[in-house]
């Protein structure tokens, strides 16, 4: 495996009366598209919040590109990691352009420079949403909004991009569009890490898949190496599943 | 290639900018020409201007007294207060991510009013400082009471009402404890009156209000980021805490000074930001300067009505409440998101 973008060692997290993550160690490869799967309430979002720094951690290590997370100064943090939280509601009808421009906020003191505007225009172009530029963000469909929010984090240009269920609530068209754009981002020298619910989308898009189950994290390729004939998804989702081979990918469906 | 649609939007924005930035001076001049002394109109004004420019022209003493010592300070004071309340309202709506708040609803006005009356009763601090201290205490309390993990726009408003009630009660207590002489000063002052404007009051308030507004103008770019939410700010590498504190402090300073100079003017900071948002769009980079200029001008227009429509003057707080209350109800009815 190549250099780790995120390296987690012996990370534990608990709330009163409940251990959510227990001594987790995980290494997420740089410049790859990695997906984290797990059942509802398995601690995926907690892991997301620990990586992104929303939750402080008392035991264990989280390293971003070889540096301890808490030791990275606020200024270079924006360049290192960007993330997309799960839900977002905007109260004010900002234009799409204004929303994406806020992605550059860490890099200017008072107002954005010409370079910031150039980057926003370029991001709009790359994401194929230039036509939405002057539209009001609150008038967009859910799928368009998600593209705008992803553009916003991409305009920031972080080395590592972490997303919490980016395809949630999106129709198939937008799911594919969003994942295509994220894959593209990972192919241009960036690391993309997605928390997802759809194991099939994961196996179609991901370079690496990780599982979270019973407060622990697992690398799916190691699980397969251990027991090539086991249906690892049945263990993950705790239900009987059928497997179908399409091209070189394994697609799983519930039994019927 | 420019489509006709483009040129219409350009013309529209030109017109709107003219209204927002071109109107203040003419409105201030009109404010100097109208009032209870009917005989001081355009001709007298022209006389006065000539006497200023040309020293050989005789200075009309009565006219000068009315225009320069009564109407001009009042017009300037009104403009400053309007600009302060509207801008503070717009900034607070952005920070609290809530289009239903303003300095009055968050309790800043009541806190500042209590602080100012306390300073009249027990002159330990100056009225302005005391107004600021208690205004800041009020908004902090509202934030602490109203901000929980899943708080909605309504919880903040309820918290603001409680805090507002708390300080209104304390204000009543201060009045109860005051001797008749001080009581009169406090009551006259809390009624919210611009007719007591004087050069002295303008001198006291223009520096803190201008500096506060300038500060808010400088952080206007960050306000868009803050109004997307804390997580969204952290997501792109910005810690929202400091900039939020700075913004709320500046909004509290300008509000406290406005309240200390003109009493409580209710709901003005609520509806003006909505009007400017309709005119220039939602981006705080445009609404902040628009709130400063349009906020000042519009309060001046309302005050001119208060002075001239009826034979006796109506306190301006009554007028802004009459406009603001239905507006608030309308916003509550319209608002569907971020509710539960």
Q: Is the pLDDT reported for residue B91 higher than 70? A: yes
- The answer to whether the Cβ–Cβ distance between A92 and B277 falls below 8 Å is yes
Q: What confidence score (pLDDT) does residue B38 get?
A: 64
What rounded mean pLDDT belongs to chain A? 90
Pick the CATH number of A4-254 from 3.40.50.300, 2.60.300.12, 3.10.180.10, 2.60.120.10: 3.40.50.300
* pLDDT, position B337: 40
Q: Fill in the DSSP letter of residue A130.
A: G
Test B236 with A99 for CB contact under 8 angstroms: no
Q: Which of A31, A29, A36 is nearest to A165 (CA)?
A: A36
Among the partner-chain residues A78, A84, A93, the one whose CB lies closest to the CB of B237 is A78
Residue A145 is encoded by which pair of tokens? 């909004």
Task: Specify the pLDDT at position B340.
Answer: 33
Q: Is the pLDDT of residue B86 over 60?
A: yes
- Distance (Å) from the alpha carbon of B199 to chain A's nearest alpha carbon: 34
Q: How many CB pairs under 8 A join A and B?
A: 89
Res B336: pLDDT: 45
Output the pTM of the full model.
0.88
Highest mean pLDDT among A184-193, B3-12, B57-66: A184-193
The pLDDT score that the predictor gives to residue B235 is 86
Angle CA A199–A172–A245, to nearest 5:
40
Provide the pLDDT for residue B4.
55
Q: Which residue of A has its CA nearest to B97?
A: A91
CB contact under 8 A, A158 and B281: no
Q: How many CA atoms lie within 13 A of B308 on its CB side?
A: 15
pLDDT tens for residues A108-127?
Answer: 888 899 999 999 999 999 99
Tell me if B232 and A88 make a contact (CB, 8 A cut-off): yes
| pLDDT grade for B191, boundaries at 50, 70 and 90 | low
Closest partner residue to B232 among A81, A85, A106, by Cβ? A85
**DSSP string covering A38-73, please?**
E-TTSSHHHHHHHHHTSS--SEEEEEETTEEGGGS-
Q: Which residues of chain A have pLDDT under 50?
A: 1
- Sequence spans of domains, chain B: 70-334
Helix axis angle for B240-262 and B127-146, nearest 10°, is: 130
Which one of B10, B91, B221 makes the best mutation probe of the A interface by having the most chain A beta carbons within 10 Å?
Answer: B221
What's the confidence (pLDDT) of residue B294?
A: 96
Mean pLDDT of B290-314: 89
Please give the ipTM for the structure prediction: 0.84
User: Scanning the structure block, which residue is given the tokens 């249906």?
Assistant: A231
CB contact under 8 A, B99 and A83: no
Superfamily of chain region B70-334:
ABC transporter involved in vitamin B12 uptake, BtuC (1.10.3470.10)
Asked if the Cβ–Cβ distance from B221 to A111 is below 8 Å, we say yes
**A149 to chain B, minimum CA–CA distance in Å?**
9
| Candidates B222, B283, B337; nearest CB to A89 | B337
Sequence-separated (6 or more) residues with CB below 8 Å from residue B178:
B120, B121, B186
Does the structure show a pLDDT above 50 at B190? yes
- Please answer yes or no on whether A106 and B283 come within 8 Å at the CB atom: no
CA A55/CA A142 separation, integer angstroms: 28
């Amino acid at each position: 495996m190549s250099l780790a973008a995120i390296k987690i060692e012996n990370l534990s997290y608990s709330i009163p009366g409940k251990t959510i993550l227990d001594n987790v160690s995980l290494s997420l490869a740089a410049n790859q598209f990695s997906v984290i799967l797990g059942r509802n309430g398995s601690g995926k979002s907690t892991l997301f919040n620990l990586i992104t720094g929303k939750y402080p951690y008392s035991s264990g290590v989280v390293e971003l590109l070889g540096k301890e997370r808490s030791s990275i100064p606020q200024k270079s943090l924006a360049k290192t990691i960007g993330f997309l939280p799960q839900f977002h509601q905007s109260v004010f009808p900002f234009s799409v352009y204004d929303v994406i421009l806020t992605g550059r906020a860490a890099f200017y003191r008072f107002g954005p420079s010409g370079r910031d505007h150039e980057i926003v225009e370029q991001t709009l172009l790359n994401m194929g949403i230039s036509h939405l530029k002057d539209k009001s963000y609150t008038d967009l469909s859910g799928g368009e909004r998600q593209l705008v929010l992803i553009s916003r984090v991409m305009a920031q240009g972080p080395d590592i991009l972490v997303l919490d269920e980016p395809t949630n609530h999106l129709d198939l068209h937008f799911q594919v569009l969003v994942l295509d754009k994220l894959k593209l981002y990972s192919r241009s020298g960036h690391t993309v890490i997605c928390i997802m619910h759809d194991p099939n989308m994961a196996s179609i898009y991901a370079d690496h898949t990780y599982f979270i189950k019973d407060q622990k994290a697992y690398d799916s390729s190691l699980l397969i190496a251990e027991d090539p004939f086991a249906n690892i998804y049945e263990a993950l989702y705790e239900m009987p599943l059928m497997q179908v081979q399409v091209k070189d990918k394994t697609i799983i469906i519930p039994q019927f | 290639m420019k489509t006709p649609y483009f040129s219409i939007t350009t013309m529209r924005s030109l017109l709107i900018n003219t209204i927002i930035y071109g109107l203040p001076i003419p409105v201030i001049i009109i404010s100097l020409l109208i009032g209870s002394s009917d005989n001081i109109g355009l001709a007298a004004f022209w006389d006065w201007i000539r006497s200023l420019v040309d020293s050989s022209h005789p200075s009309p003493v009565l006219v000068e007294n009315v225009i320069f010592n009564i109407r001009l300070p009042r017009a300037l004071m009104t403009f400053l207060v309007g600009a302060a309340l509207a801008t503070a309202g717009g900034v607070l709506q952005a920070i609290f991510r809530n289009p239903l708040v303003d300095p009055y609803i968050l309790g800043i006005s009541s806190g500042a009013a209590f602080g100012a009356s306390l300073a009249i009763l027990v002159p330990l601090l100056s009225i302005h400082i005391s107004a600021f201290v208690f205004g800041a205490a009020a908004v902090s309390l509202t934030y602490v009471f109203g901000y929980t993990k899943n708080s909605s726009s309504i919880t903040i408003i309820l918290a603001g009402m409680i805090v507002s009630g708390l300080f209104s009660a304390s204000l009543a207590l201060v009045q109860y404890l005051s001797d008749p002489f001080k009581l009169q000063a406090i009551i006259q002052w809390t009624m919210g009156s611009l007719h007591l404007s004087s050069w002295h009051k303008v001198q006291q308030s223009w520096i803190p209000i201008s500096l506060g507004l300038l500060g808010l103008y400088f952080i206007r770019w960050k306000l868009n980021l803050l109004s997307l939410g804390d997580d969204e700010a952290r997501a792109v590498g910005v810690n929202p805490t400091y900039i939020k504190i700075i913004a709320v402090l500046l909004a509290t300073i300008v509000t406290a000074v406005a309240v200390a100079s003109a009493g409580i003017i209710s709901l003005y900071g609520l509806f003006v930001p909505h009007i400017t948002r309709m005119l220039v769009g939602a981006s705080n980079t445009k609404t902040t300067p628009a709130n400063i200029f349009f906020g000042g001008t519009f309060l001046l227009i309302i005050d001119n009505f208060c002075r001239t429509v009826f034979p006796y003057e109506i306190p301006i707080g009554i007028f802004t409440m009459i406009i603001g209350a239905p507006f608030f109800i309308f916003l509550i009815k319209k608002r569907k998101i971020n509710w539960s």
